[in-house]
Amino acid sequence: MSFSVGIVGLPNAGKSTLFKSLTKKPIDIASYPFTTISPNVGIVTIPDERLEKISEVVSPDKTTPTVVEFVDIAGLIKGAHKGEGLGNQFLAQIRECDAILNAVRAFRADLVEHTEKTVDPERDIEIIKIELIMKDMETAEKVSRGLEKDSKSKDKEIIKKLNLLKKINQGLGEGKKITEISLSEEEMFGIKEFQFLTSKPMIHVFNISDENPYPIKPGSLTVNLKYEEEISDLSEPEKKELGTESHLDQIILACYNALELITFYTASGKKEARAWTLKKGSTCPQAGSKIHSDFEKKFIRADVIHWDQLIKAGNWAKAKELGWLKTVGKDYIVVDGNVIEFKI
Ligand SMILES: Nc1nc2c(ncn2[C@@H]2O[C@H](COP(=O)(O)OP(=O)(O)O)[C@@H](O)[C@H]2O)c(=O)[nH]1
Ligand SMILES: [Mg+2]
């Protein structure tokens, strides 16, 4: 299963321009089991120098990077939570995503209309935030009403859930996103099933222009999306010749980090070197389940080496000979950069 990022933002912020640039690179779809194929869903490979280096030393028949799914979500405008614009339709699409990428307009262009008339990134961020919060409040209230109706008996678990929802609703009412409300790990787990929009990690990308740029807070992720689209057809050597580089990789990696994902690799055979995506803190059997659903149950042990050690050894057999492989059991927590051979 892959992770998905929903691109939101006000009309003409540059969502579709970003989506088009990101999804231009062709990828071998057959390697990934996907559920959704539609024009506004695209698969993007994660840039990974480590995999390239592993592939160089192992020289497998095939090298397969990990991917993230991007969804171009149209229709977010002021009042969307009440059904304005495409309203509820787009909100349902965001619910399906693991993270939200907010494209924020920071370019001035008289010919490109702005629904709020002026360029003001902070205001636009606030508009999007309020829409998501309002939708979450509606969800919290709806769920609470349902629970109250169903619970004729005074079920302890239900009372607990209702209190939690009350806490959530209060925080939302104060203008806080769920990620800004202080919740225990148990409470976060308790609300998972409701897929609240503001409980998802959110990344802001400021779409700037190179001339007359709008001033942006230092440290923000800024990119000229129109320019990105223009250069997205060029090859790497062509870009080099022009003295330009793409900033799309930064955006992709920011999403990957916001999702708290790590990468592990399989490269013990000659057939394939492959990168896999895993939630930080996962155990070795959970990593195995990414490869095959059976692996988690059938897991016995695994041989693990850190990627740079494998590079140093040159290949799997040599690493084994040198005694650099570590045998681990089912409690082993996978570390970013591990290369794993599962024993089932
Ligand atoms: N000048 C300028 N125009 C842009 C930029 N990014 C997008 N646009 C233009 O703004 C319009 C809307 O962009 P689009 O990506 O379709 O916005 P969306 O509504 O958020 O999907 C298009 O005509 C784009 O060419 C930019 O960085 N600078
Ligand atoms: Mg669009």
Cα angle vertex 254, ends 249, 260, to 5°?
Answer: 130
pLDDT tens per residue across span 115-174? 888 999 999 999 999 999 999 999 999 999 988 887 666 788 888 999 999 999 999 999
pTM over 0.85: yes
Residue 18 CA, ligand 1 centroid: distance in Å: 9
Cα 171 to Cα 20, 75, 123, 128, 155: the distances in Å are 36, 26, 21, 17, 25
Q: Does 31 score more than 70 pLDDT?
A: yes
Instruction: Judge if the beta carbon of residue 13 lies within 6 A of ligand 1.
Output: yes
The candidate with the shortest Cα–Cα distance to 4, out of 191, 193, 277, is 277
Residue 326 CA, ligand 1 centroid: distance in Å: 51
Edge to edge, what strands does the sheet with 272-279 contain? 62-64, 272-279, 261-266, 338-343, 301-306, 326-328
CA–CA distance, 105 with 122 (Å, rounded to integer): 10
Instruction: Judge if the beta carbon of residue 90 lies within 6 A of ligand 1.
Output: no
Domain extents for the chain? 3-202, 263-343
Which pLDDT score, from 0 to 100, does residue 85 have?
67
The candidate with the shortest Cα–Cα distance to 115, out of 74, 175, 62, 147, is 74
What is the CATH architecture of 3-202? Orthogonal Bundle (1.10)
Angle between helices 156-173 and 121-150 (to 10 degrees): 160
Instruction: Judge if the beta carbon of residue 195 lies within 6 A of ligand 1.
Output: no
Q: Does 82 score more than 80 pLDDT?
A: no
The candidate with the shortest Cα–Cα distance to 120, out of 104, 100, 109, is 104
User: In one letter, which amino acid is 78?
Assistant: K
Q: Does 35 score more than 60 pLDDT?
A: no
- Residues near 323 by beta carbon (within 8 Å), at least 6 away in sequence: none
Atom in ligand 1 nearest the alpha carbon of residue 109: 1
DSSP state at residue 179? G
For residue 182, report the phi and psi dihedrals to the nearest 5 degrees: -80, 115
Whose Cα sits closest to atom 16 in ligand 1? 16
Q: Does 107 score more than 70 pLDDT?
A: yes
Which pLDDT score, from 0 to 100, does residue 260 have?
93
Q: What is the mean pLDDT of residues 307-330?
A: 95
Mean pLDDT of the chain: 90
Instruction: Judge if the beta carbon of residue 213 lies within 6 A of ligand 1.
Output: no
Residue 109 CA, ligand 1 centroid: distance in Å: 9
Which pLDDT score, from 0 to 100, does residue 155 have?
81
CA–CA distance, 290 with 274 (Å, rounded to integer): 12
Which pLDDT score, from 0 to 100, does residue 32 have?
74
Instruction: Judge if the beta carbon of residue 112 lies within 6 A of ligand 1.
Output: yes
The percentage of the chain sitting over the pLDDT mark of 70, rounded to a whole number, equals 96
Q: Which ligand is located closest to the Cα atom of residue 8?
A: 1
Q: What is the mean pLDDT of residues 94-108?
A: 94
Q: Which ligand is located closest to the Cα atom of residue 103?
A: 1
Find out if CATH 3.10.20.30 is the number for domain 263-343.
yes
Q: How many residues does the chain have?
A: 344
Cα 194 to Cα 93, 184, 200, 251: the distances in Å are 14, 16, 12, 28
Instruction: Judge if the beta carbon of residue 226 lies within 6 A of ligand 1.
Output: yes
Q: Which ligand is located closest to the Cα atom of residue 74?
A: 2
21-47 core/surface letters (b: 16 or more CB in 10 A; e: else): bbbeeeeeeeeeeeeeeeebbbbbbbe
Which pLDDT score, from 0 to 100, does residue 37 have?
63
The percentage of the chain sitting over the pLDDT mark of 90, rounded to a whole number, equals 67
Instruction: Judge if the beta carbon of residue 291 lies within 6 A of ligand 1.
Output: no
pLDDT tens per residue across span 200-254? 999 999 999 887 778 888 889 999 999 999 998 888 888 888 888 889 999 999 9
Q: Does 175 score more than 90 pLDDT?
A: yes
Whose Cα sits closest to atom 4 in ligand 1? 226
Atom in ligand 1 nearest the alpha carbon of residue 103: 20
User: Quick one: tokens of 79?
Assistant: 């009042």
More confident residue, 132 or 31: 132
